[in-house]
Amino acid sequence: MKYPHIIIITILATLMASMLFLAYVEKNQRDTDEDFWSVYFVYPLADNNTFVIDNRSSAATFHYDITTESGIIASDDVEIETKDRILIKTEAEQNAQPVTITVKKGDEKKELEKK
């Protein structure tokens, strides 16, 4: 093989290898650096208080309270694996508003509201 051919192959091979490597690095950072959890309403604009606990951190037990004007009307503990989420469907009386949904994971607390 002639030298120019070798140089061209070297350029293409190193470029392709770098592209694949950097794409993998980006994907890996996306997967391994992700460490948070979130709560959100599924229907924020409707009279439905169904919400989701989305766990992108380590597996844990989450505790939630649904509080309306008449006090805590629903409460439970849920186990959620890493990169898993759980949908908490609310029944008729749980869709009352105003409502406050409090979700705890250990000492961490997050809150949703509808007023």
Return the number of the residue (16 or 72) whose C-beta is nearest other proteins: 16
Task: Give the closest residue to 77 by CA, choosing from 67, 64, 90, 89.
Answer: 64
Minimum distance, C-beta of residue 93 to other proteins, in the bound complex (Å): 20
Sites of contact with other proteins (CB under 8 A): 2-8, 10-12, 14-16, 18-27, 29-30, 33-45, 54, 56, 108, 110-115
Minimum distance, C-beta of residue 1 to other proteins, in the bound complex (Å): 12
Separation between Cα atoms, residue 115 and residue 107, nearest integer Å: 26
Minimum distance, C-beta of residue 17 to other proteins, in the bound complex (Å): 9
Residue 94 near residue 29 (C-beta atoms within 8 A)? no
Return the number of the residue (22 or 59) whose C-beta is nearest other proteins: 22
Return the number of the residue (45 or 92) whose C-beta is nearest other proteins: 45
Minimum distance, C-beta of residue 72 to other proteins, in the bound complex (Å): 18
Torsion over CA: 64, 54, 48, 78 (sign): negative
Separation between Cα atoms, residue 100 and residue 113, nearest integer Å: 4
The single-letter code of the amino acid at 76 is D
